[in-house]
Amino acid sequence: MYAILIGPQLSEFRWPIQELPSDVNVGDTVVLQLVDDKHEEEQKFEQMRKLLEELIN
C-alpha cells in the first residue's frame, strides 16, 4: 500500500505506507530526506561523535 504525498509545488508521488512513521495521519506534514549511503554514514558518525562528546563532558 502507498500513501500519496504532495510536494511544495503540488507534485504528487507514492511512498510506501510502511516506510512512514506509525503515528502519521492523513493531512499531517512530513519531512523526507533522501541521502546517499555516504552521506548517511557521515551523519551517523557525526551523531555518534556528538553523543560521545556529551558523555565525556
For the chain, the domains span 2-56
Helix-strand-coil split of the chain, %, nearest 5: 40, 20, 40
The pLDDT tens digits of the residues spanning 9-46 come to: 888 989 899 988 889 989 898 887 777 778 778 888 99
DSSP reduced 3-state for 54: helix
How would residue 51 be classed by pLDDT, with cut points 50, 70 and 90? very high
pLDDT of residue 10: 86
DSSP reduced 3-state for 45: helix
Instruction: Indicate the pairing of strand 2-6 with strand 12-16.
Output: antiparallel
Identify whether the C-beta of residue 3 lies closer than 8 Å to the C-beta of residue 20: yes
- Sign (positive/negative) of CA torsion 21, 26, 31, 37? positive
pTM above 0.85, yes or no: no
